[in-house]
A and B are shown apart, each in its own frame.
Chain A
Amino acid sequence: GESVGLHLPTLSVQEGDNSIINCAYSNSASDYFIWYKQESGKGPQFIIDIRSNMDKRQGQRVTVLLNKTVKHLSLQIAATQPGDSAVYFCAEDPRGGADGLTFGKGTHLIIQP
Chain B
Amino acid sequence: DSGVTQTPKHLITATGQRVTLRCSPRSGDLSVYWYQQSLDQGLQFLIQYYNGEERAKGNILERFSAQQFPDLHSELNLSSLELGDSALYFCASSVAGGFNEKLFFGSGTQLSVL
Contacts and interface: CB of A to CB of B under 8 A. Distances in A.
A41 B48 CA distance: 23
Interface string B47-77: 0100000001110000000000000000000
Given A99-B56, A99-B58, A100-B58, A44 B43 contact: yes
Contacts of A101: 45, 103
Given A97-B97, A103-B43, A43 B106 contact: yes
Interface residues of B, number: 26
B16 interface: no
B18 interface: no
A22 to B, nearest CB: 16
Interface on chain A toward B: helix, strand, loop, or mixed SS? loop
A70 interface: no
B90 A43 contact: yes
B25 interface: no
A43 B107 contact: yes
In the complex, which of the residues A91, A100, A105 has the most CB atoms of chain B within 10 Å of its own CB atom? A100
Interface of B: 2, 4, 33, 35, 42-45, 48, 56-58, 90, 92, 97-108
Interface of A: 2, 31-32, 34, 36, 41-46, 49, 51, 89, 91, 93, 96-106
